[in-house]
Structure 1
């Protein structure tokens, strides 16, 4: 005959239910972290795109104004100061936006860094329990 008590099978089912709930909670947390990482990376790429477009715009306007400056260079001297100032401003703004975009691209955090660190902690806790 069986030596099992009626309470033992219920305890095993409770343990399995608790284990399943824990696994689902862990999976939910990891997926939540993963979605946060993807959202953060998407925002980073979007900001890089905006900065790159701003850099291209300002450099383009600066080049056009510099060309106009060369054309007007032989006219009245008051126009030179205005066009030279505008060309210098747009060129400087374009270069600054480009440098900032390059800096931001180089210093971006690793994709899924938070998720990977949490998974590493989970793995270390599981190994330490064995």
Structure 2
């Protein structure tokens, strides 16, 4: 009975490891999507920057310091919001299935040791 239990746990562990590999492949696909999203965001950021430069040039004769200050303020606020969100995302650990796999290994090892 213990051998059957140990075999079932080992089989379950193998299945979970396979699932973890599939999840890793999905993470790599998502990383590609993120790369393209970052590129799109960068290009959109450059577009905003060019619009701000256009506004500064248009207002240069009448209010140059106000135009430069407003443009700088927009960029600083956007950067601060992005850094805040990035820190929040980086603080979350990626622990997909690690605890479950470790517990299944411990269970299988315990059953194998007790088997006569």
* Larger RCO of the pair (alpha carbons < 8 Å, separation 6+): 2
Task: Say which SS state the counterpart of residue 106 (structure 2) adopts.
Answer: helix
For 1:128, the equivalent position in structure 2 comes to 110
TM-score (norm 2): 0.53
Which among 32, 35, 38 is matched to residue 52 of structure 1? 38
Paired residue total: 103
Q: Cα 1:126–1:31, aligned 2, differ >3 Å: closer, same or farther?
A: closer
Task: Say which SS state the counterpart of residue 109 (structure 1) adopts.
Answer: coil
For 2:66, the equivalent position in structure 1 comes to none
For 2:19, the equivalent position in structure 1 comes to 33
Q: Shift of residue 73 of structure 1?
A: 0.9
Aligned-residue CA RMSD (Å): 4.1
Gaps in structure 1 of 5+ consecutive residues: 1-15, 77-83
In the aligned structure 2, how far is the partner of 1:65 from the partner of 1:56? 14
